[in-house]
Structure 1
Amino acid sequence: MAQQHVNETRQARIDPAWVNWAIGRIEADYARSADTHLLPVSLPALPGIALYLKDESSHPTGSLKHRLARSLFLHALCSGWIGPETTIVEASSGSTAVSEAYFARMLGLSFVAVVPASTTCEKISAIETHGGVCHKVDDPKTIYDVAALIAAEQGGHWMDQFTFAERATDWRGNNNIAESIFAQMRREPHPVPTWIVCGAGTGGTSATMGRYVRYFRHPTQICVADPKASVFHRHWHDRTVRLAPEGASLVEGIGRPTVEPSFVPTVIDRMEVVEDEVSIAAARVISRHLGRAVGGSTGTNLVACARLAMSMAANGQNGSIVSILCDSGERYASTIFDDRWLEAKGLNIRSGEERFEHFIALGIFED
């Protein structure tokens, strides 16, 4: 209700000429940007299965959330919620805020990110580099209320990615990530993926993927890789479950303690639950194989890919699996790539690294 009130009181100050200019600025930025790469991952022991990573770290703001931030700004501009004096506010664990800060600065708007106090210093620095201001909260569950309050106090607009992610993106096309993947797969041996694997933070990416494959009648199935501490996999199995009983995941950007409005379970075919230690181990192993660091959520995705590949191989099924390289591991240099941080968290990833190395080299993954 607070969000609706803030938007309604601001509508009289919207300047149509400025909105036209702002949309043009965002479209010009998009025209200057190349599509992200689709990287093949060699699995020599599984010749019938092709694995690819959609490298979203190559966006100007370094993550998958660049697409979301652009869509959220366009959605808000076209809805009459943003004007030339509007302060933009977002509740975010980091990457969405980095991308929104980029677009806010492009339009000359102030930006405030409400982030959990545990957010990595690298992400905080990236938000501030793009001109944003970070408001840290000790309890991650309060970021929504705090963001709404700040927006109301400043006469601003709370972007509310967790509500609008699944509706701000045009899932039928317009260069969303699903359309990009299918276009890039056209000349591959198995051009229509058997599986697309993604995580869920807002739920917007899985919603876009699931709706797109249904709209174009592809046989592709959607798998969501979810941290053990997240509520999403619980809600997918039992719609009455809306809160996770455990603590927060150590994998930033995916998994939530509460079911978000943008999470659409009915477009998901399978959920894979992944423990944090295994996610981090997989992220570190694939980083060595790619020659550059990737974030923990990419590791979560790859564990699900390994399980799907094993299942396909056991059933004598050939095909392709496409997943997402969500962001660069440089944002986690002080956490998942720091052995002292792992030790402080009581995490032992040696076994997980060995198991994922076996998958890459031998095509065997044992949970």
Structure 2
Amino acid sequence: MGHRVNRELRLLDEEAAERRSDPVRLHRFPLPEDWGITLYLLDETANPTGSLKHRVARALFRHAIRCGRIGSGTLVIEATGGNAAVSQAYFARLLGLPFVAVMPRKSSPEKIERIERYGGTAYLVHPPLAIYSEARKLADEQDGHYMDYLTHGASAVAAGAADDDIGRVLFERLTVEGVPMPRWVVVGAGSGTTATTIGRYIRRHGLSTGLAVVDPENSAYFPGWVLASDEYSTGMPSRIEGIGRPRIEPSFTPDLVDLVIPVADAASLAAMRFLYDTTGLRGGGSTGTNLWGAFLLIAKMRREGHRGTVATLICDDGDLYRASYYDDAWLRGKGFDLAPNLERLREFMVTGELAG
């Protein structure tokens, strides 16, 4: 048993070491120099599975192995068809374990293909919210392990290694690049793991940096934070993949958050497109949400006469959304008109003014 556990943990350590050999990229967004404000984006798309969920998945496997929940041949199960499932399928294949993603029946073929690319299997169910109960049921029936990243993500990262901690990765990269300590870090919340991990790092090191969480439409984090209620629920799914939840998930720790900013979905997608048009960097919708929130804070800093640095994340690779967020016909079919918000962003770059 000990030999097997050591081997599996060694494989995870070796995978993390391979990532360290290719330093995380940090991009500076081209704001006007006379503003005295800099904006940096930590690029998580270089991870093998193309998103920041790669780190969380590695931490979840480390934790489950150490706790004896995953053994030789254990069926690993997750309830999502998003980046979290793709990353877990990658690590399951690395460790020689079967993996099943329990997904809504209407999931796109592209999502299913991404999971199958790493040897995983898609188990489709209806209605969509049944994925969680079906994942638990499948784990019970097959003597498998339901990873449940929505519940265990933050605790797994806290118990994991330095490479799994996005807070440490972000601040160490800023230091290496000689970037001043940011006044704000802006992140979205899906499971809440990223926000909690970064918030813990800020508090643990006594930093003066504020943590702002951006929240898309239909998500519970903004209203729950305003009402100081961890029971708040919208009952509706987010249209921005990777962030937004109909309920506040256990991995989210509101006490670590200084500000929650609601962002309209059309604004998120406009900012995503604006990033590409301005820099050639192609992120997903959640990256656009981050960027819009960062721009709002920068406008506020200018109104108040402050200078300094804001940092955020490129969460996943925009190539994953060529047939959706980057497809004008798809956007029209979903009722999105990005033109007004794109014009607001162009004006922001001239005037420094942007209202929420």
Shared fold, TM over 0.5? yes
TM-superposed CA distance for 1:307, in Å, is: 0.6
Task: Return closer, same or farther for 1:241/1:31 CA change in 2, 3 Å cut-off.
Answer: closer
Task: Return closer, same or farther for 1:117/1:289 CA change in 2, 3 Å cut-off.
Answer: farther
Question: Whole-Å Cα distance in 2 between the matches of residues 366 and 202 of structure 1?
Answer: 27
Residue of structure 1 in register with 2:102 after alignment: 114
TM-superposed CA distance for 1:346, in Å, is: 1.2
Q: List aligned pairs for 1:171-190, cutoff 5 A.
A: 174-175=162-163, 176-186=165-175
1:42 aligns with 2:33: no
1:69 aligns with 2:69: no
Q: List aligned pairs for 1:284-299, cutoff 5 A.
A: 284-299=273-288
Task: Return closer, same or farther for 1:119/1:276 CA change in 2, 3 Å cut-off.
Answer: farther
Residue of structure 2 in register with 1:281 after alignment: 270
Task: Return closer, same or farther for 1:210/1:104 CA change in 2, 3 Å cut-off.
Answer: same
Residue of structure 2 in register with 1:332 after alignment: 321
Q: Indicate the larger mover: 350-359 or 325-334.
A: 350-359
Native 8 Å contact 2:81 2:101 kept in 1: no
Task: Return closer, same or farther for 1:222/1:134 CA change in 2, 3 Å cut-off.
Answer: same
1:206 is aligned, of 162, 170, 195, to 195
TM-score, scaled relative to structure 1 = 0.91
Partner-residue secondary structure (3-state), 2:101: strand
TM-superposed CA distance for 1:241, in Å, is: 5.8
Residue of structure 1 in register with 2:303 after alignment: 314
Q: Which blocks of at least 5 consecutive residues in structure 2 are unaligned?
A: none
Residue of structure 2 in register with 1:151 after alignment: 139
1:349 aligns with 2:349: no
TM-score, scaled relative to structure 2 = 0.94
Question: Whole-Å Cα distance in 2 between the matches of residues 311 and 228 of structure 1?
Answer: 22
Question: Whole-Å Cα distance in 2 between the matches of residues 56 and 186 of structure 1?
Answer: 17
| Percent of pairs with identical residues | 40
1:142 is aligned, of 130, 133, 136, to 130
1:193 aligns with 2:190: no
**1:112-131 deviation digits (Å, cap 9, x = unpaired):** 01123454443322111001
Partner-residue secondary structure (3-state), 1:317: coil
Task: Return closer, same or farther for 1:301/1:171 CA change in 2, 3 Å cut-off.
Answer: farther
Q: Indicate the larger mover: 230-239 or 132-141.
A: 132-141
TM-superposed CA distance for 1:229, in Å, is: 0.8
Native 8 Å contact 1:178 1:209 kept in 2: yes
Question: Whole-Å Cα distance in 2 between the matches of residues 171 and 211 of structure 1?
Answer: 13
Q: Which blocks of at least 5 consecutive residues in structure 1 are unaligned?
A: 1-14
Aligned residues, how many?
353
Letter in 2 for 1:131: G
Native 8 Å contact 1:226 1:255 kept in 2: yes
Task: Return closer, same or farther for 1:292/1:136 CA change in 2, 3 Å cut-off.
Answer: farther
**1:281-334 deviation digits (Å, cap 9, x = unpaired):** 111111222214210000001110011000111111111111010001111112
Native 8 Å contact 1:229 1:244 kept in 2: no
Partner-residue secondary structure (3-state), 2:78: strand
**1:86-133 deviation digits (Å, cap 9, x = unpaired):** 000001241010100000001111000112345444332211100111
2:41 is aligned, of 50, 53, 56, to 53
1:30 aligns with 2:16: yes
Question: Whole-Å Cα distance in 2 between the matches of residues 359 and 114 of structure 1?
Answer: 42
